[in-house]
Chains A and B, each alone.
Chain A
Amino acid sequence: MSIVAALGIGFCFGWLLEKAGLARYDRVVNVFRFRDFTVLKLLLSALVVGSVGVQASLALGFSRSVPVPATFLAGNFVGGLIFGVGMALSGFCPGTIAAGIGEGRLDYLIAGSLGLVAGAWIFGALYPRLFPLLARGAHTAATISQWCGVDPWLIVVLLAELAGIACYAAERARRVANRGPNRDA
């Protein structure tokens, strides 16, 4: 049962990443070069729909709880920095690499997978030293709404508003520059 569910979720995940073109090197790198905002648009629209879905599911009582990743702001940020360097170098992240493998890309399948396994092993070896440092920064609130002490729906609406502005700005920048994502594979 849970294997079927995991396969189904993965299938949709991979399907959507491929259809959005995120299995391409240039797509992912060009978001950092302000040439192609597909990654940003996909991420923001998924965030908006996902946060509405999660809050609706909690409010309607379909699920009692959701898994919230731990917040330790300095660690999250520094980890993000290293992650960003890796993403700009390789042109994929651990999710889109699966989409790239599905498209038949051998650099993703062999070099990327080996690199990820090696990286995971390195982090495991560093873990005993890093853990106490990271633990010092643990945050008291699990979610932004708890942090600010406001209703989660207000944060959801705020997020949607900011995402809308960012997407509008991205579309406008593309129109102005007129050299956007028109180089298809």
Chain B
Amino acid sequence: MPVVESAVAKGRRANDSMWRWLLAGAVALFAYGLAASAQAQCGVPTSSCRDCHESRAAGLFVAAERWHADHALGDFCSNCHGGSPTTADEGAHAGLADPLANEGERCRICHANRPRIFDSYLALARPPRAPGSAAGSPVLAYDPRPTARASTHLAGTQPNSGRSRNAICLAAIVVIGLLAAAYIAACERGAGVLQSRLRAVFRRSEWSAYACGALLGVVVTVSMTVFGRRLSGSGAYQELAGPLARGLSPSSTYWTQVIRPSEHWNSVVLAGAVAGSAMAAILGGRFRIRWLPDSQWTDVFGASIARRWSLAGLGAALTAVGGGIAGGCTASLALSGGAALSPGAFAFMAGMFAAGIPTARLLYGKYSR
């Protein structure tokens, strides 16, 4: 390759790379739009009920009534209320039903063997009957339309036209920004240098924690906003445990209603994560089959595989139980929940460090490296 290039050739190369960057930006925008439009069609989110009513309205439905408080931490709205929990637009309200009709018929979906639960709800819902009125089945005032209170809270949402105008404006900002960045980079460094630098970055064995964190933030944002899913590790293992648990106890409410047999999103994400990590490890030269951690573990606990594997299994089981109680793991609660500003995410992180620090201190004792 000639070291000295003519100014014309340099300019042409810069131009080439600029178009490549532009094309990449356009493809990214197109993919985002495709994914966003597919969201409504595939109905990927587990329940649009909680999403709209809780993240957009001011927590109206949680803990307002006793049965709401009792069911608040699950995603069970549709079990009682009907409707279409996989639809994100107004169609979600199609097929709404009175939750307490037919003597708690809908409660039986989960509580078939505990009739006292829905008897108590029915009693709570029964309007005080005027003395002397004819005895009969209680008439429940059930109006699926949003209440006045709900609509004031929802007034903050934007109408469709403003939304698309915002989208066009943001697209322009992104395109102009990419264009400028590509132009400046091409002028300053030259496309060849840029390309070899990029290749070196991908082969580097370790990236800065801040860079990884920021990119992970982007991944979380895409997962949450485009696909309506929290990024999750523990969710995958709950899905994987499903078939086994359903085999052992086929009537369990948890394994049929909470962890639904049709759910596979998190397992697929997990498979993708294994593939992504393997790719990164191979490119960075860190892939190797090994039975024990490379360093530190053997200094403290010795080289016994049995010891490492039993403690790793025990720790893993504890994280699964703890994650179940807390309602998520580091990725699905601390990270995704924190990005959505959920108070629970920060309570979880506080708990994680409050227990992790003394446990590590206990395990390591005097070891101080």
| Nearest neighbor of B270 in chain A, beta-carbon distance | A98
Smallest distance from the beta carbon of B133 to chain A beta carbons, Å? 34
Q: Does A44 contact B (CB under 8 A)?
A: yes
Smallest distance from the beta carbon of A154 to chain B beta carbons, Å? 11
Which residues in B have their C-beta under 8 angstroms from that of A53?
217-218, 220-222, 224-225, 339
A68 to B268, CA, bound (A): 21
Q: Does B137 contact A (CB under 8 A)?
A: no
Which residues in B have their C-beta under 8 angstroms from that of A176?
none
Contact B330 A95 (CB under 8 A): yes
Which residues in A have their C-beta under 8 angstroms from that of B271?
7, 10
Contact B234 A79 (CB under 8 A): no
Give chain A interface residues in 90-116, CB to chain B under 8 Å: 90-108, 110-116
Give chain A interface residues in 118-149, CB to chain B under 8 Å: 118-128, 130-132, 134-136, 138-147
Contact A141 B58 (CB under 8 A): yes
Q: When A14-B276, A21-B206, A51-B341 are in contact, do A117 and B293 touch as well, CB less than 8 Å?
A: no
A113 to B349, CA, bound (A): 23
Contact B323 A9 (CB under 8 A): no
Across the interface, A69 reaches (CB within 8 A) one of B278, B284, B327, namely B327
**C-beta contact mask, A58-90 vs B, less than 8 Å → 1, else 0?**
101111111111111101111111111111111
A101 to B160, CA, bound (A): 44
Q: Does B325 contact A (CB under 8 A)?
A: yes
Which residues in B have their C-beta under 8 angstroms from that of A23?
277, 281
Q: Does B273 contact A (CB under 8 A)?
A: yes
Contact B321 A103 (CB under 8 A): no
The total of chain A residues at the interface (CB under 8 A) is 140
A78 to B349, CA, bound (A): 10
| Nearest neighbor of B49 in chain A, beta-carbon distance | A65
Contact A135 B72 (CB under 8 A): yes
Smallest distance from the beta carbon of B62 to chain A beta carbons, Å? 6
Q: When A47-B335, A71-B344, A86-B317 are in contact, do A106 and B50 touch as well, CB less than 8 Å?
A: no
Contact A85 B225 (CB under 8 A): no
Give chain B interface residues in 195-230, CB to chain A under 8 Å: 204, 206-207, 209-210, 212-230
A69 to B311, CA, bound (A): 29
Which residues in A have their C-beta under 8 angstroms from that of B342?
68-69, 71, 142-144
Q: Does B26 contact A (CB under 8 A)?
A: no
| Nearest neighbor of A167 in chain B, beta-carbon distance | B210
Smallest distance from the beta carbon of B136 to chain A beta carbons, Å? 32
Q: When A78-B326, A79-B323, A95-B233 are in contact, do A16 and B351 touch as well, CB less than 8 Å?
A: no
Q: Does A173 contact B (CB under 8 A)?
A: no
A31 to B330, CA, bound (A): 14
Q: When A15-B279, A103-B287, A112-B316 are in contact, do A72 and B220 touch as well, CB less than 8 Å?
A: no
Q: Does A49 contact B (CB under 8 A)?
A: yes
Which residues in B have their C-beta under 8 angstroms from that of A120?
234, 237-238, 240-241, 245, 320, 324
Q: Can you list 16 contacts pairing A with B, beta carbon distance less than 8 Å? A: A13-B276, A20-B212, A26-B297, A45-B217, A46-B220, A47-B334, A49-B214, A61-B163, A62-B163, A69-B328, A71-B344, A80-B355, A88-B359, A90-B313, A102-B278, A143-B55
The 3 closest A-B pairs by CB, nearest first: A10-B272, A80-B351, A79-B326
Instruction: Identify 20 new A-B residue pairs, CB closer than 8 A, beyond the known A1-B38, A127-B254.
Output: A11-B272, A31-B356, A33-B364, A50-B217, A50-B218, A50-B339, A52-B217, A54-B220, A62-B163, A65-B51, A65-B228, A92-B312, A93-B330, A102-B281, A111-B310, A117-B241, A126-B324, A139-B344, A146-B59, A185-B294
